[in-house]
């Protein structure tokens, strides 16, 4: 069995009533800081993206306020994404099983989970999501800083502004797309996943169904016979 990153996953993590601790308090707290700030950034960002959604900014206290807060909340988002990196990056490396998993995506989409190769603590889709948010966070920060202080960019460096609007909007669109899938999976498709980032635990059955590799690590080979 491979040693894991920051937080060891061991049989002691099995808690009463056949549940496993999946996320520590730190992990959950950080997840919700990232989620809350992302949602605010997405809503205020979309208000500036299209006149059709400008009303969102009005509902959130007015567009001037949104313009003032968006970059600051962006910094909160970025810090929490960096902390998330220190927590989870070591578990997000792509392994051979992820390639197989990816090739079976059709089964996953059709809910044929019994035909999926055994994912570890994270499946290939979740790993991709993690990296897209990390890299997206870096790009959004870099381009966001240019948009934040746009009036200070000298005229002969104006290409920076042109680059920034495209990169910021493009990256925001990509991360919003991933975000929609992420929310759908966590809230609607995989019952039990939402509870894991709220209460921290999942049932043994959940672990066995969606993350068989991880399940084996936690309960040990013998226990699986149970």
Partner 1 sequence: MSQATLRIQKISAHSGTVPGEDTQRQYQVCKLVDTTTCIGCKACEVACVEWNDMPFSPTAFGNTYQTMPETRWNYWNLILFNEHEREDGTLQWLMRKHQCMHCAEPGCLEACPADGAIVQYTNGIVDFQQANCIGCGYCITGCPFNIPKFNNVTKRMYKCSLCADRVSEGLEPACIKSCPTGCLHFGSKDDMTELAGIRAKQLRDHYGYDKAGVYDPPGVGGTGVIYVLHDATQPELYGGLPSNPSIPLAVKFWKHPLKWLGNIAMVGGLIGLFVHYLKFGPKAREEADLAPKGGA
Q: Could you report how far apart the first and last alpha carbons of the chain are, in Å?
A: 20
Give residue 161's Cα distance to chain centre. 28
* DSSP one-letter code for 21: E
Judged by beta carbon, residue 8 or residue 50, the one nearer partner 1 is: 50
Residue 38's closest CA among 79, 9, 7?
Answer: 79
Judged by beta carbon, residue 87 or residue 146, the one nearer partner 1 is: 146
Judged by beta carbon, residue 2 or residue 110, the one nearer partner 1 is: 110
**What does each C-alpha distance from 192 to 185, 198, 203, 214 come to in angstroms?**
10, 10, 8, 16
Q: Which of residues 55-94 bind partner 1 (CB under 8 A)?
A: 63-64, 66-68
- x-marked contacts with ligand HEM along 6-45 as a string, rule CB under 6 A: --------------------------------x--xx-xx
140 counts as binding ligand HEM under rule CB under 6 A: yes
Alpha-carbon distance 106 to 86, whole Å? Answer: 32
The entry of partner 1, ligand HEM, none near residue 85 (CB within 5 to 8 angstroms by kind) is none
Concatenated DSSP letters for 70-94? HHHHHHHHHHHHHHHHHHHGGG---
User: Cβ of residue 90: shortest distance to partner 1, in angstroms?
Assistant: 27
Strand, helix or coil at 14?
strand
Helix segments in the chain, DSSP class H: 25-49, 54-59, 63-88, 96-103, 105-109, 124-148, 159-183, 193-198, 204-210, 212-223
222 counts as binding partner 1 under rule CB under 8 A: no
Alpha-carbon distance 182 to 188, whole Å? Answer: 10
User: Cβ of residue 183: shortest distance to partner 1, in angstroms?
Assistant: 9
Which of 5, 36, 71, 200 contacts ligand HEM by CB under 6 A?
A: 71
User: Cβ of residue 186: shortest distance to ligand HEM, in angstroms?
Assistant: 18
Residues in touch with partner 1 (CB under 8 A): 18, 47-52, 54, 63-64, 66-68, 109-111, 113, 147, 150-151, 155, 158, 161-163, 165-166, 169-170, 173, 176-177, 180-181, 184, 188-192, 203-206, 208-210, 226
Residues in touch with ligand HEM (CB under 6 A): 38, 41-42, 44-46, 48-49, 67, 70-71, 74, 77-78, 140-141, 144-145, 147-148, 165, 168-169, 172, 175-176
């Amino acid at each position: 069995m491979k040693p894991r990153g920051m937080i060891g996953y061991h049989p002691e993590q099995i808690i009463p009533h056949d549940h496993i601790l999946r996320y520590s308090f730190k992990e959950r707290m950080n997840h919700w800081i990232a989620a809350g700030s992302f949602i605010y950034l997405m809503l205020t960002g979309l208000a500036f993206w299209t006149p059709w959604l400008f009303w969102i900014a009005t509902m959130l206290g007015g567009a001037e306020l949104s313009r003032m807060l968006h970059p600051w909340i962006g910094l909160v988002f970025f810090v929490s994404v960096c902390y998330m990196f220190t927590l989870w990056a070591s578990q997000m490396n792509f392994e051979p099983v992820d390639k197989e998993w990816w090739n079976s995506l059709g089964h996953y989409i059709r809910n044929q989970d019994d035909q999926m190769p055994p994912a570890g603590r994270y499946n290939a889709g979740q790993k991709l999501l993690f990296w897209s948010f990390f890299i997206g966070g870096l790009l959004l920060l870099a381009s966001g800083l240019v948009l934040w202080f746009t009036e200070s960019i000298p005229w002969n460096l104006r290409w920076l502004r042109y680059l920034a609007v495209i990169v910021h909007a493009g990256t925001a669109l990509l991360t919003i797309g991933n975000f929609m899938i992420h929310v759908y999976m966590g809230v609607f498709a995989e019952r039990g996943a939402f509870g894991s980032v709220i209460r921290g635990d999942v049932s043994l059955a959940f672990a066995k169904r969606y993350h068989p590799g991880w399940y084996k690590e936690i309960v040990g080979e013998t226990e699986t016979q149970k």
